[in-house]
Amino acid sequence: MDHPATEEKSDSSQAIVEAFVSARLSASAVRSYPGAIPADLKTAYAIQDAAINRWPDEILGWKVGGVGAPYSDQLGANRLAGPVFSKRVHIKPETRLEMPVFAEGFAAIEGEVTAVIAADAPAGKTNYTIAEAVDLIGSLHMGLEIASSPFAGINEHGPVVTISDFGNNFGLVLGDEIPNWRALRAGEWEFTIEINGETIGRASPADHPAGVAESVRFMLENAAQRGRPLKRGMMILTGAVTGVHQAYAGDVGKVSCPGCAPLECKLVPAEPI
């Protein structure tokens, strides 16, 4: 018996995977969303997983982003995930980095508490408590995410579209370990972000629901349920502390947090891989 609706859905998902993977490899633009917008989280993550399987690099971490109303109610989730690939990770740079972005797409600079996982997540475990998540945190660092997509409208169509293009991630910079982070006094971790010398955001993770530990717990479950359990040393961007700040090729960004050396980057146009 034929299932034309299922086949149509599969064809659309394959077209989305092909369009985003090809555009990211060639550093070109996706002018309009290349298929039917995923109907649910399951479809969106299936597209992301298919694209991960095609990408010529290994996952070294994940980004966690927030999902606000009304999407959080519709989808039954307040966070989303996307992979961070090893060639896009920089650890404690001593100088200003040049970070590629899709010049004709979307780009943003985000300051984020970044968790480093202490040990491989237990095989077969797919549900976690906050306490179990905290036990698997090896360290917390000041971090910087480069969010970028070949599709300029990625944030205009809801979280399922964001998920379908690698969660809108294109880089992670790991900075210094946050002093006394084990006390989990998130209100003391005030992040400041500057773009082109102007301060455009200042906030702490305490301003966000459930905070850093909940993002790690979410990512442990999300990855495990997709057959990609977290491994020792993986880095988790736990959410934009001061918000998502759109930027463009040529802009210079700086993220600061008390007790940590600032992280600075200049956005440059991505080149084909």
pLDDT digits (tens, 9 = 90+) for 35-64: 999 999 999 999 999 999 999 999 999 999
pLDDT at residue 5 in the model: 39
> Can you list the residues of the chain whose pLDDT is less than 70?
1-9, 208-210
- Alpha-carbon gap, residue 156 to 85, rounded angstroms: 25
* pLDDT, tens digit (0-9, with 9 covering 90-100), for 150-175: 999 999 999 999 999 999 999 999 99
What's the Cα-to-Cα distance from 171 to each of 54, 89, 146, 168, 251, rounded to whole Å? 18, 6, 5, 10, 16
What does DSSP say about strands 245-246 and 106-117: parallel, antiparallel, or unpaired? Answer: antiparallel
pTM of the full predicted structure? Answer: 0.94
pLDDT at residue 134 in the model: 95
pLDDT at residue 209 in the model: 54
